[in-house]
Structure 1
Amino acid sequence: MNDTPRIRTVLSCTLLALMVTASAGACAGTDGHPLSAKPYDAAEQVSFNAPADGKKADPDKALEITAQGDDGRITDVTAIDETGHHLAGELTADGQRWRSTGSLTAGGRYTVKVSTEDEDGAPGTRTFTFETAPAKRGLTATFGPEAGTYGVGQPITAALSMPVKDKAARAVVERALKVRSTPAVEGSWYWVDDKKLHFRPKEYWPAGASVSVSGNLAGVKIGDKLYGGESKPLTLKIGDRIEAVADAGSYSMTVRRNGEVIKTMPVTTGKPGFSTRNGIKVVLGKEYFVRMRGTSVGIAEGSSESYDLPVYYATRVTWSGEYVHAAPWSVGSQGFANVSHGCVGMSTGNAAWFFETVRPGDIVQTVNSFGDTMDTFGNGFGDWNLAWDKWRQGSALVADAKSAAHQPDPTRLQPSI
């Protein structure tokens, strides 16, 4: 019993010694150097291939950083441009060389931090900056339509300043073209041709949505000697969901706003030989007055089908001349027969109401006609007639995308009635 206090004293001293040892170990690295030691200046230990004296680096050449001598090695490299993008790279196993594997941004400014250690394991660091030369060729995208408020069927368009044919280059471009919607939607770009893309959601845009489009292409390497340039962003507002369905079989048109029927009216559509196109079309614009001639759609002057008429309240749905418009000369047939040359005709009062109700981007669909289906591209916006899985195949980002035949660019022909 007399030894108990002594045993406790010995145990306490031993525990204190262990605590002191642990504290000493916590303040040093595994190589024996204090972790709080300031890294030495490694300026003499590394070199890089970026030009000196304020000259700009060639963005087509990889950045290389090399350890000098045999008394140290590179342990890490971080290269970041002014936009916050990291430049990817690889460090050799012996730490003697780091080389960029990602593409440098043209016209960019990089800050590079190199971490090293000497032969004794002491840490070093070197930080330097350099700029890359601007691109000699800059690919830009012009977005459409113009800023404003549109219907739920309005596709976004991107017109490129030069053609892009290579699939890998297309993927770079497509990744940089950003479409954001509030509320969010699922959507995709479709390459109409080498210089034109369309974007649409899987379903129609939500009524009241806000849509912003940007092209983050500036300085991005797209292909051999080809970089992106600045593209002006676009902001759109989506209005109510207006859908008009013209039924050629019942000679009527039904118009819905946000799912509720707001008007049903008698119409006439294309007669045999001039049948109205089936399918979904998008309002392209509105013209209070249009002079319509049969010669503009291939009808010989003086033939039994020839016409030359003043037309009012004309809402255009194809570039080739299909409209929804006032047709007072056919009021007796509206609701009973199809007698037009392809347009949807109605009374002047109904045409005026329709003209004032719809806006570009609204949906006009024709059903039960003997006409062909609306072209997907080339004669307005027939984008919604393509099933979603096939639409996705038009994206360069889809692995199994298949090439598809496309219609030529739209030719603004004169209207038919």
Structure 2
Amino acid sequence: MSVVRRRCAPFLLLVVLLAGCQNGVDGDPAPDAAATSAAPTTPPVPAAVVTADPPLGSVDVDPVAPLEVLADHGSLGVVRVTAADGTALPGGLDATGTTWTASADLDFGTTYTVTATAADAAGRTSTTTGTVATVTPRTFTMPTVFPNADTPVVGVGQPISITFDEDITDRAAVESHLSVVTTPHVDGSWSWLSDRTVHYRPADFWPAHTHVAVDVDTYGVDVGDGISGQAGKHVEFDIGPKKVGVVDATELVLRLYVDDQLVQTMPTSLGKDSTPTPSGTYVVMQQSRRYTMDSSTYGVPIDAPGGYRSEVEYASRLSNSGIFVHAAPWSVGQQGYRNVSHGCLNVSTANAGWFYENFGRGDVVEVSNAGATLAETDGFGDWNVSWDQWVAGSALHPGA
């Protein structure tokens, strides 16, 4: 009998052993690879954080700095900002719900309590409370603006005048908060006449019928020496027709033009040799139907040689130093021939009445070939300096 040798047994054993290894010890199935990796973890939701600008705890804060309350990692809910007396500061949230902004300026010397709630992405809420205290200045200064609501229409020569009731040591800080917008556009410049007074004018007279809007945004502005602006002002006015009077002291005829057309002539008498009328460009400052002329207002007692006190009609003031166009019936015989006044422009009563009725604040009178030039600071003598000199008086661009 023949014997058949089986040579496949070792191979089968190897397959069985390999299969056993793949199925695990003792024939158990192998664990899934995915099951052996670590399960992913969800990152924690950050808590909402409430901050403020200026930061909570701030003191000596500028009252015009816009107060904001902000939420990081969440959105704001109720925001309340109250002064010590319980007065709430108005404000509102932006479209994202992350920023609340005050809609009013803060008051000086006031501590505000800020209370704000915020919710994070998981819906958890928290409340933050803190304070912000504003500065208490040594004193305040209030601006006075001319033209104003009582002068809605002025002449082409009228400068804008702002006068403060305290000395301004930081002129640039003030000037940077002054704005003039004209329709149509007219370029101009501010120029400081003193520590309390700043004026604005164009290089030449205003164009007739210009609309002017002035903003004095000085509330809360530190003007130096511990002084802050007490309030802001907004003024609008219009420039009327171009009205200019012209007189030559060697001719003594006052010629009056409206929109460059001659409309009236008046014989006049200017200041005599001892009291000459200053030459230069004048601007009508104010008008009085009757006015008492008094030499003591410029240092000459009424009982001294050359002193006087008398009432005149139709007085149109041209300078602080007492130059007027006014009725002088006593000098009609000299008007047009000799200079006999104390410096004023003497005209007849009828002519003074015409000037009073037809010229007014901001209109111009130009005097030539008379005395020394009218000072820039005498009334509205602004036009008696060159444009370069005028611009040099600006605190923001001197010498430009």
CA contact (8 A) 1:106 1:219 kept: no
1:328 aligns with 2:329: yes
1:253 shift after superposition:
0.5
- Where 1:193 maps in the other structure, the secondary structure is coil
3-state secondary structure, aligned to 1:384: helix
Instruction: Say if 2:142 is the partner of 1:143.
Output: no
Shift in Å at residue 226 of structure 1?
5.2
- The equivalences for 1:256-295 within 5 A come to 256-294=257-295
Deviation string, structure 1 residues 60-106 (Cα, Å, up to 9, x no partner): 7x99xxxxxxxxxxxxxx9996579xxxxxxxxxxxxxxxxxxxx99
Aligned CA RMSD, in angstroms, stands at 3.8
What letter is aligned with 1:141?
P
Residue by residue over 1:148-180, the C-alpha shift from the partner in whole angstroms, topping out at 9 and shown as x without a partner, is: 221111111212243222xxx321211111111
- How many Å separate the matches in 1 of 2:188 and 2:208? 16
Counterpart contact for 1:325–1:344, Cα < 8 Å: yes
CA contact (8 A) 1:50 1:57 kept: no
- SS of 2:357 mapped into structure 1: helix
Aligned partner of 2:157 in structure 1 is 153
Cα distance in 1, alignment partners of residues 129 and 206 from structure 2: 45
Q: Which residue of 1 aligns with 2:134?
A: 134
1:178 alignment counterpart: 179
Runs of 5+ unmatched residues, structure 1 = 1-39, 64-77, 85-104, 112-127, 402-417
- Quote the residue 2:238 is aligned against: 237
- Distance across 2 between alignment mates of 1:224 and 1:81: 31
Deviations for 1:237-259, whole angstroms, at most 9, x for unmatched residues? 22111111121111101111111
Q: Alpha-carbon deviation of 1:134?
A: 3.2
- Mapping of residues 21-32 of structure 1, within 5 Å: none
C-alpha distance in 2 between matches for 1:131 and 1:178: 34
| Correspondences of 1:116-127 after superposition (within 5 Å) | none
Q: How far apart in 1 are the matches of 2:129 and 2:237?
A: 39
The alpha-carbon distance between structure 1 residues 307 and 159, as it changes in their structure 2 partners (threshold 3 A), is closer
Aligned position for 1:218: 219
Cα distance in structure 1, aligned partners of 2:199 and 2:217 = 17
Q: Is the 8 A contact 1:150 1:238 kept in 2?
A: yes
Is the 1:284–1:316 contact (alpha carbons within 8 Å) kept by the matching residues of 2?
Answer: yes
Tell me if structure 1 keeps the 8 A contact 2:281–2:381: yes
- 1:293 deviates by 4.5
Task: Tell me if the contact between 2:157 and 2:364 (Cα under 8 Å) persists in the aligned partners.
Answer: yes
Q: How far did residue 139 of structure 1 move?
A: 4.5
AA matched with 2:319: T
| C-alpha separation in 2, matches of 1:241 and 1:316 | 18
List runs of 5+ in structure 2 lacking aligned partners: 1-44, 68-97, 115-127
Distance across 2 between alignment mates of 1:307 and 1:248: 24
Counterpart Cα distance in 2 of 1:130 and 1:242: 61
State the structure with more CA Rg: 2
Relative to 1, partners in 2 of residues 1:287 and 1:140: Cα closer, same or farther, differing over 3 Å? closer
Q: Aligned residue for 1:395?
A: 394
Aligned counterparts, 1:30-109, within 5 A: 41=46, 43=48, 52=56, 57-59=59-61, 82=102
Overall identity of the aligned pairs, in %? 38
Shift of the 395–332 alpha-carbon distance from structure 1 to 2, 3 Å rule, reads same
Deviates more, 1:218-227 or 1:344-353: 218-227
Report the number of matched residues: 307
Counterpart of 1:287, as a letter, is S
Q: What SS does the aligned partner of 1:278 have?
A: strand
Partner of 1:188: 189
TM-score (norm 1): 0.64
1:218/1:347 Cα in 2 relative to 1: closer, same or farther (>3 Å)?
A: closer
Structure 1 residues 272 and 358, CA gap change in structure 2 (3 angstroms):
same
Instruction: Indicate conservation of the 8 Å contact 2:316/2:356, yes or no.
Output: yes
TM-score using structure 2 length:
0.66
Shift of 1:47: 7.6
Give the equivalent residue in structure 2 for 1:29: none
Code of the residue aligned with 1:136 in structure 2: it is T
What amino acid sits opposite 2:161 in the alignment?
T
CA distance in structure 2 between the partners assigned to 1:276 and 1:225 by the alignment: 43
Asked whether the 8 Å contact 1:135–1:226 carries over to 2, the reply is no
